[in-house]
């Protein structure tokens, strides 16, 4: 396992080094992570909203049950059936506790939805910032590559244009140097 851990660390280090040397790619990787986080957050919000809707339906159903048992309590009291009235009152109280718990659960869901929506806004804002930086980095990278190509092409063009024989300047210098040598020889002979 040590060999695999070493290899894994080596590959991670090489990837980090590569991304540091290519910042536009690092920004692209960050953008991809932000896109995934945005997708996950949107799914979470949709799931929480679905849970909230179910919770609201359960609360409504419980409220209807409470109302039904409240009417039964009144009927039993009016009929002087205290045994049924007491049992119905206990059922009504149990349903009220259940309704309160469901209400609290729904409030918790609403809070999580708000937090998730705030997180989504932050992710989207961060994504816009990174997209702007990525565009700048991509432009800078493209300019650097173009500049490097121009320098490389300019350098290779210079060597290729002068390596294929004499150009005009070379020809002029050779004539001048030859004439200068002839003049020097004539002066030496004249002494």
Give the SS3 label for residue 81.
Answer: coil
Mean pLDDT computed over 150-160 = 57
Mean pLDDT computed over 125-133 = 88
The answer to whether the CB of 102 falls within 8 A of the CB of 58 is: yes
pLDDT of residue 89: 96
pLDDT of residue 94: 97
Q: Which residue has the higher pLDDT, 127 or 150?
A: 127
Mean pLDDT of the chain: 84
> In residues, how long is the chain?
191
Structural element, H or E, at residue 113: helix 82-163
Q: Which residue has the higher pLDDT, 94 or 171?
A: 94
Lowest mean pLDDT among 42-51, 61-70, 118-127: 118-127
Q: Tell me how far CA of residue 163 lies from CA of 48, 158, 159, in angstroms.
A: 74, 9, 6
- pLDDT per residue over 19-33, tens digit each? 667 666 777 878 889
Q: How many CA atoms lie within 13 A of 80 on its CB side?
A: 0
- Cα(21)–Cα(135) distance, rounded to whole angstroms? 17
What percentage of the chain has pLDDT greater than the value 90? 48
Instruction: Say which residues have a Cβ less than 8 Å from residue 58's Cβ, sequence separation at least 6.
Output: 102
Mean pLDDT computed over 157-180 = 70
- Cα(48)–Cα(35) distance, rounded to whole angstroms? 20
């Amino acid at each position: 396992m040590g060999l695999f851990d070493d290899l894994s660390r080596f590959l991670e280090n090489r990837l980090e080094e590569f991304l540091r040397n290519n910042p536009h790619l690092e920004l692209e990787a960050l953008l991809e992570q932000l896109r995934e986080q945005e997708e996950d957050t949107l799914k979470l919000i949709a799931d929480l909203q679905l849970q909230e809707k179910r919770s609201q339906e359960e609360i409504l159903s419980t409220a209807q049950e409470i109302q039904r048992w409240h009417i039964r309590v009144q009927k039993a009291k009016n009929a002087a059936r205290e045994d049924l009235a007491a049992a119905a009152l206990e059922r009504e109280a149990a349903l009220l506790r259940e309704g309160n718990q469901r209400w609290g659960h729904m409030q918790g869901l609403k809070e999580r939805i708000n937090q998730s929506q705030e997180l989504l806004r932050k992710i989207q804002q961060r994504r816009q910032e990174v997209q702007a930086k990525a565009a700048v980095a991509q432009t800078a990278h493209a300019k650097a590559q173009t500049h490097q190509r121009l320098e490389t092409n300019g350098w290779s063009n210079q060597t290729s244009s002068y390596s294929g024989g004499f150009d005009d300047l070379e020809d002029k210098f050779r004539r001048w140097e030859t004439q200068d040598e002839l003049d020097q020889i004539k002066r030496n002979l004249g002494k």
